[in-house]
Amino acid sequence: MKLYDECFEGVGEILSQYSVKSFEAQKYSHWESNDKNQIIFQSDTAYELGGGTLPALSSIALTDREDFVTRDEILLIGKDLGEIKGDSPFARIALLNVNEDEMGTGEKLYQTIRKIEYARYHIHPEGYMMRISAFTHREAARVGKDAVKKGLSFGHIGRFFIDEYKKNPQVKAVKLLFVTDPGFPYDKLEAIMKKSESITTALDHIMKDIRMDCQTCSLKTVCDEVEALCEKDK
Amino acid sequence: MMNTADKKTTVLAFTGKGGVGKTSLSAAAVRLLSEAYPGKKILAIDADPAVGLATALGVDVDFTVDDIRKSFVKTAESGNTSAAVELLGEAKYQMFDALKETGNVSFLAIGRPEGAGCYCKVNAYLKEIISMIAGNFDYVVIDGEAGIEQVNRRVMEKVTHLILVSDASKKGLQVTRTILTVAGEMVMFDKAGLIINRLPDISVADRLDTAGLEILALIPDDPGLAMNDIAGDSIYSLPGSSAVIQGAKHALKKLNLIGDV
């Protein structure tokens, strides 16, 4: 499965230029989960990750190459939740090693990718309220004052994500990257993320075999690439 | 933080004929509840297309639930199809932009009703999110459109306290009876009561046909409120002794929602 390999390489290149903190996923197993309707009010909010007009990026990319994602890993560039003092730019990238044989092809492949991606809608750590906009591709989060006091860390949040992603039998290992560094090149990351999303969208586009003028379609370049990669994978 | 499943939210809906003072009474109820319970969370929902509750509470509204509905419809019309889980996430995301938080009171404006076309699915998503948000509050006060069925269709399925508001006119009281009948058929409330507002003289109350409804308050015409409205001032500018505040307090006490404050 080579569809997203270019994205992996792009993320890897950016990461190589930054100091990355690593969390041992197994050490962060205990943090209470709230119900899906949890609201953290402004008065109870310590700060917002990706609040207002600050970057609030999220993306997912999948590969069958084990050298890209060797084991479950939580990485951070920037400050951890207990160190952040005000609204902060934010990015969350999930790089997943999947068993290609179980991903399916065609429409099933697209649906499997989306199902794995939707894991983020099922994660509700106490004191961490995600705000996800599929329309604007933003993923922000309000972090509660109490949760910060109790020691909530990206290690805990990452653990929630890893556990949820791995409920899908196709997922073998998860490398999860959080970024809060204000000096990080979010625009470069955003370009990679857009590419990743357009690959997934193109998969659906191709599989639905929409009859339209490809010459005028904005997805044409990506579709051509995806079709070529799908052919290689066969 | 409490799970919403553990929380029992008290939902008050003020309904009645147009022009009888629902908005002022809704605003007064919000003020009284926030003063009586500083530690509790109160949500004020303006379900009247005129968005008068915002002015009455001194809130600037720049984004309504109707704006969210429009963005959903626009996205759908542009050919962008989304899964249900994404739409619910999106509705939740945008609803927080529409929610104005000031102290222990939050405000949400529903905006104008939908135009031509069937947006049942969109409305269902939005209503789902409103209910979800409401579940995080201790008290929800809805300034309704004329009938409870609009509140039911656009805001939430059920209220705990249906507060019918009328003036002394025969038409006003007739409207409250109709609202009560419809609400009763749809089993949409636990308790109901009537506030008769803008009475030219309290003594006329004896001559009114209230169809056996419990009278929660009789409120004389309040020139101070009229001057407040003319100035565009919020309910917080009115003295606690004003007729509308006293009337609302009486009604909330009768419903056991506040004590002697």
- DSSP codes joined into one string, A173-220: EEEEEEE--TTS-HHHHHHHHHHHHHHHHHHHHHHTT--S-GGG-TTH
Report in angstroms the alpha-carbon separations of B14 from B53, B142, B145, B160, B192.
12, 6, 8, 11, 10
Q: How far is CA B49 from the centre of its chain?
A: 12
Answer yes or no: are the C-beta atoms of A178 and A158 closer than 8 Å.
yes
Chain B positions touching A38 (Cβ under 8 A) are 1, 3-4, 136
Report in angstroms the alpha-carbon separations of B71 from A49, A130, B65, B92, B119.
24, 21, 10, 13, 12
Report how far residue B181's alpha carbon sits from residue A5's, in angstroms, rounded to the nearest whole number.
64
- DSSP codes joined into one string, B101-168: EETTEEEEE--SPP-SS--HHHHHHHHHHHHHHHTT-SEEEEE--SSHHHHHHHT-S--SEEEEEE-S
Q: Which positions 5-34 of B are in contact with A (Cβ < 8 Å)?
A: 5
Q: Among B72-86, B120-134, B156-170, whose mean pLDDT is lowest? A: B72-86
Instruction: Classify residue B62: in a domain, yes or no.
Output: yes
Q: Which positions 158-217 of B are in contact with A (Cβ < 8 Å)?
A: none
Instruction: Classify residue B94: in a domain, yes or no.
Output: yes
Answer yes or no: are the C-beta atoms of B99 and B53 closer than 8 Å.
no
Confidence of residue B80 (pLDDT cuts 50, 70, 90): low
When CB atoms are compared, the residue of B83, B89, B106 closest to A132 is B89
C-alpha closest to that of B132 among B29, B257, B1, B7:
B7
Q: Domain tally for chain B?
A: 1
Please answer yes or no on whether B85 and A42 come within 8 Å at the CB atom: no
Chain A positions touching B106 (Cβ under 8 A) are 41
Res. B1: pLDDT tops 50? no
Q: Which residue of A has its CA nearest to B104?
A: A43
Instruction: Classify residue B201: in a domain, yes or no.
Output: yes
Report how far residue B180's alpha carbon sits from residue B189's, in angstroms, rounded to the nearest whole number.
10
Answer yes or no: are the C-beta atoms of B234 and B57 closer than 8 Å.
yes
Q: Which H or E run includes B86?
A: helix B84-98
Instruction: Classify residue B261: in a domain, yes or no.
Output: no
- Which domain covers residue B138, as residue numbers? 7-254
Residues of A with a Cβ under 8 Å from any B Cβ are 34-35, 37-44, 114, 118, 121, 126-127, 131-135, 138, 144, 146
Answer yes or no: are the C-beta atoms of A38 and A144 closer than 8 Å.
no
The residue assigned the tokens 């934010």 is A90
Task: Identify from B3, B73, B74 which residue to disrupt to test chain A contact, counting A C-beta atoms within 10 A and taking the largest count.
Answer: B3
Please answer yes or no on whether A35 and B89 come within 8 Å at the CB atom: no
Q: What confidence score (pLDDT) does residue B145 get?
A: 73
Chain B positions touching A43 (Cβ under 8 A) are 101, 103-104
Long-range contacts of A117-121 (CB under 8 A, 24+ apart): A117/A60, A117/A200, A118/B83, A118/B85, A118/B86, A119/A161, A119/A164, A119/A165, A119/A167, A119/A168, A120/A58, A120/A161, A120/A164, A121/B85, A121/B86, A121/B88, A121/B89
Answer yes or no: are the C-beta atoms of B157 and B131 closer than 8 Å.
yes
Of A91-105, B22-36, B128-142, where does the model show the most confidence?
A: B22-36
Give the minimum alpha-carbon distance from A126 to chain B in angstroms, rounded to a whole number.
Answer: 8
Decide if B89 touches A, using CB distance below 8 A: yes
C-alpha closest to that of B63 among B46, B85, B87, B77:
B46
Please answer yes or no on whether A37 and B96 come within 8 Å at the CB atom: no
Q: What is the pTM of this model?
A: 0.81
Q: 3-state DSSP call for residue A86?
A: coil
Beta bridge partners of B101: B106
Task: Identify from A44, A135, A216 which residue to disrupt to test chain B contact, counting B C-beta atoms within 10 A and taking the largest count.
Answer: A135
R_g of chain B, CA atoms, integer Å: 18
Please answer yes or no on whether B1 and A126 come within 8 Å at the CB atom: yes
Chain A positions touching B1 (Cβ under 8 A) are 34, 38, 40, 44, 126-127, 144, 146
Give the number of C-alpha atoms closer than 13 A to the C-alpha of residue B140, restricted to the C-beta side.
29
Decide if B2 touches A, using CB distance below 8 A: no
Instruction: Classify residue B166: in a domain, yes or no.
Output: yes
Report how far residue B13's alpha carbon sits from residue B188's, in angstroms, rounded to the nearest whole number.
11
Instruction: Classify residue B249: in a domain, yes or no.
Output: yes
The residue assigned the tokens 């010459």 is A215
Q: What confidence score (pLDDT) does residue A209 get?
A: 56
ipTM of the complex: 0.74
Chain A positions touching B82 (Cβ under 8 A) are 134-135
Report how far residue B16's alpha carbon sits from residue B18's, in angstroms, rounded to the nearest whole number.
6
Instruction: Classify residue B259: in a domain, yes or no.
Output: no
Instruction: Classify residue B226: in a domain, yes or no.
Output: yes
Mean pLDDT of chain B: 84
Q: Could you list the mean pLDDT of each consecutive 10-residue stretch along chain A, which spans 234 residues?
A: 80 87 85 85 94 92 87 95 96 92 83 90 94 90 96 96 95 95 92 83 65 63 68 61
Query: Which domains does chain A show, CATH number per domain?
Result: 5-233 (3.30.1650.10)
CATH of the domain at B95: 3.40.50.300
> Which tens digit of pLDDT belongs to each residue from B182-214?
877 776 788 999 999 999 888 887 888 887 889
Give the minimum alpha-carbon distance from A194 to chain B in angstroms, rounded to a whole number.
Answer: 16
Number of continuous H segments (helices) and E segments (strands) in chain B: 9, 8
How many other β-carbons are positioned within 10 Å of the β-carbon of residue B181? 11
